[in-house]
Amino acid sequence: MATAHFYRLLIERTPATVDQEHLPVAIWADPTTPDRTEALLGIGPSPVPALLHGLRWLQAAGADCVAIPCNTAHAFRDELVRRSGAEILDMVAAALRHARASHPQVTRIGLLATRGTRGALLYERAAEPLGLEIVHVPSDLQHHVDSAIAAVKRGADLGPAARDTAVAAACLRGRGAGLAIAGCTEIPFVAGEAARILPMIDSMVGLADDAIRRLAQAAS
Amino acid sequence: MATAHFYRLLIERTPATVDQEHLPVAIWADPTTPDRTEALLGIGPSPVPALLHGLRWLQAAGADCVAIPCNTAHAFRDELVRRSGAEILDMVAAALRHARASHPQVTRIGLLATRGTRGALLYERAAEPLGLEIVHVPSDLQHHVDSAIAAVKRGADLGPAARDTAVAAACLRGRGAGLAIAGCTEIPFVAGEAARILPMIDSMVGLADDAIRRLAQAAS
């Protein structure tokens, strides 16, 4: 669902008036790729071989750049770039830039993300040079975020997932966050209720805009 | 947008509880492919070379079957199958089967489609052996359908497009159609108003179900 949503964002955010002005896109979507969080927690196999396989196929297709609409996979981004030579856009940096551009007064940023993304400190590392601080849901309430993500992945009734996300957003607001980044690409599907508590930034929007800018460069 | 919507349908209609149970999908989306209707009307280049290029790439990815979420492109399906050897699902047949299964009492089927699809008699040929009759919008009102499709392609304000589609659906109802097939993959995005006039069948739903069935066979 994240890939389909990202593809739609890419289309909606591309200035185009007929089919022929849209971007040529190749998508490799292999849902059998091992779970990124389980790999980071040391309880599952690495997703790197499956991701490299997809990258090689996209490179053969002539991709100018690659977007991976999964925040947790960005823990493996340096390794993927080194081993494939592909240009892989940085979704975490893009999300933080998008948050800063849309809410320049906010320096304390809440994050809704997987345990893998949290543990790998992906957002902390990218936020520090920008002078931004990352705030998390307390560990003992992280299960609300995990449940919401799992519900989207299995296509369950999304009502409880939306309430879980709202609870998590309320936590972040209580901790002084001025906005929340949906830092897992399943979250935007269940963020409606949460967005009434705290402004929500979709990490995929920044990534889509980065891709469109990058491809405009390639074309010019 | 049609491809993104088709991809989403494929995901939503696949029974899955975690990422790893979803279908691996490769997408080749080249919006620079020449316009299918212009080619069929003899006023533009053939889309066949561009479609063959994409097909070869999908075959290299190991695709078991190929779905083309564009009705008009099906005028070239026999040639594409012959020249590529790929298994290409038949969206027109799938849409008619889906219409018959969901509305078994209806034999007079309205069609909202491009001039290319109409002129190539794609739906008529597939409907005849099923004992179904195809009804069109009168030629002098086809511009309502054309406008609606063009508006989606350019991402315009969709209000007028939805009204155009409703006018076309009303025509079909006046001609005795018991339902309308959105036989151009842009139509479902502007069919809300029309669906209050006549039941609307999305041609992509039948295609998605065909693909899911076909891949379940490949897996078993």
Q: What is the pLDDT of residues A195-207, one digit of tens each?
A: 999 999 999 999 9
Write out the residues of chain B at the interface with chain A, using a CB-CB cutoff of 8 A. Answer: 1, 3-5, 7-8, 11-12, 16-33, 35, 57, 60-61, 150, 153-155
Sorting pLDDT into bands at 50, 70 and 90, what band is A153?
confident
CB B190 within 8 A of CB B146: no
- What is the interface size between A and B, counted as CB pairs within 8 Å? 97
- Residue A31 and residue B12: Cβ atoms within 8 Å? no
The confidence score (pLDDT) of residue A156 equals 73
pLDDT at A23 over 80: yes
Say how far apart CA B76 and CA A152 lie, in whole Å.
38
The confidence score (pLDDT) of residue A29 equals 94
Shortest Cα–Cα distance, A129 to chain B (Å): 34
Lowest mean pLDDT segment, chosen from A11-15, B131-135, B168-172: A11-15
What ipTM goes with this model? 0.84
- Average pLDDT of the segment spanning B153-165: 88
For all residues of chain A together, what is the average pLDDT?
94
- Residue B26 and residue A28: Cβ atoms within 8 Å? yes
Name chain B contacts of A57, Cβ cutoff 8 Å: 26, 60-61
Question: Which of B6, B11, B19, B23 is the best mutation test for A, with the most CBs of A within 10 A?
Answer: B19
| Three-class DSSP category at B138 | coil
Contacts of residue A208, Cβ cutoff 8 Å, sequence gap at least 6: A6, A9, A10, A13, A67
- Measured distance between the N- and C-terminal CA atoms of chain B, rounded to whole angstroms: 32
pLDDT at B21 over 90: no
Furthest CA-CA distance within chain B: 50
From the list A58, A64, A18, the residue with the least C-alpha distance to A217 is A64
The confidence score (pLDDT) of residue A125 equals 97
- Residue A30 and residue B24: Cβ atoms within 8 Å? yes
From the list A14, A11, A18, A15, the residue with the least C-alpha distance to B38 is A18
Sorting pLDDT into bands at 50, 70 and 90, what band is A22?
confident
CB B33 within 8 A of CB B47: yes
Shortest Cα–Cα distance, A107 to chain B (Å): 34
Query: What is the CA A23 to chain-centroid distance, rounded?
Result: 21
With residue A116 as reference, give the H or E element that holds it: helix A115-119
pLDDT at B49 over 80: yes
pLDDT at B43 over 80: yes
Q: Which residues pair with A25 in a beta bridge?
A: B29
Instruction: Give the CA count within 13 Å in the CB-facing half-sphere of B1.
Output: 23
Question: Each residue of A69-114: pLDDT tens digit?
Answer: 999 999 999 999 999 999 999 999 999 999 999 999 999 999 999 9
The confidence score (pLDDT) of residue B133 equals 98
pTM: 0.88
CB A74 within 8 A of CB A97: no
Say how far apart CA A75 and CA A209 lie, in whole Å.
21
From the list A124, A102, A107, the residue with the least C-alpha distance to A183 is A124
**B27, closest residue in chain A (CA to CA):** A27
Name chain A contacts of B1, Cβ cutoff 8 Å: 8, 11
- Average pLDDT of the segment spanning A47-56: 96
Q: Which of A19, A27, A32 sits opposite B26 (nearest CB)?
A: A27
Q: Which two tokens stand for residue B162?
A: 């939805």
- Residue B26 and residue A31: Cβ atoms within 8 Å? no
pLDDT at A18 over 90: no
pLDDT at B158 over 90: no
From the list A4, A36, A11, A5, the residue with the least C-alpha distance to A188 is A5
